[in-house]
Amino acid sequence: MKPYAESCEQNRAPIQAVLEDLFADRRQVLEIASGTGQHAVYFAQAMPHLTWQTSELPENHAGIQAWLDEARLPNVLPPLAIDVTAPAWPLSQPFDAVFNANTVHIVSWPAVEAMFAGIGQALAPGGILYLYGPFNYGGRFTSESNARFDVWLKNRDPASGVRDFEAIDRLAAARGLTLLRDIAMPANNRSLVWQKN
């Protein structure tokens, strides 16, 4: 039985509308934390010019593979075993795009820092990073729903929580990434886009 995330169904069309422009001239995309695999299948089908490399912790590979087996798309690759906290990721090549959705608020801040170190290594010069999720600005929540979500996250794991955009942007800058776009999305989420210098 395939794993299923309702949030993927809800956010995939708005994200695709951004990616179709952003990734129009991209070829090799690394998705960090592919989760169920739903995004990978949906975006790779919509954008056949991309080769979409999934990745996840090994315990989630079977679920992703179930989605890939059903879709039978030639441009989606089986998941790499990537732990964002690892000092080195098992990559054989740099990528011209990295995609990540709904991870930085789930993991601890040290894990976010490690993830950006890995992204800095994974992206080729000129490469694009796309990050999707809820963010605070100036230390403030942008909506009541995000404030409630933050409480729920911290009850589940005190090390998690909605992150400050400014702190994320500093991490990106430290890895040679320059912010290109900050796009408002449905349900009080954002699409953040950086380019590697």
What backbone torsions phi and psi does residue 74 show, to the nearest 5 degrees?
-75, -15
Confidence of residue 139 (pLDDT cuts 50, 70, 90): very high
Question: Above 90 in pLDDT, residue 118?
Answer: yes
Q: What is the pLDDT of residues 40-89, one digit of tens each?
A: 999 999 999 999 999 999 999 999 999 999 999 999 999 999 999 999 99
Q: Tokens standing for 28? A: 């090799």
Q: What is the pLDDT of residues 182-193, one digit of tens each?
A: 999 999 999 999
DSSP codes, 89-158: ---SS-EEEEEEES-TTTS-HHHHHHHHHHHHHHEEEEEEEEEEE-EEBTTB-SSHHHHHHHHHHHHH-T
| CATH 3.40.50.2300 fits domain 6-196 | no
Q: Work out the percent of the chain whose per-residue pLDDT is above 70.
A: 100
Q: Enter the pTM of the model.
A: 0.98
3-state secondary structure of 77: strand
Asked if 131 contacts 189 with a C-beta cutoff of 8 angstroms, the reply is: no
Domain assignments of the chain as residue spans, ordered by start: 6-196
Confidence of residue 1 (pLDDT cuts 50, 70, 90): confident
What backbone torsions phi and psi does residue 184 show, to the nearest 5 degrees?
-70, 135
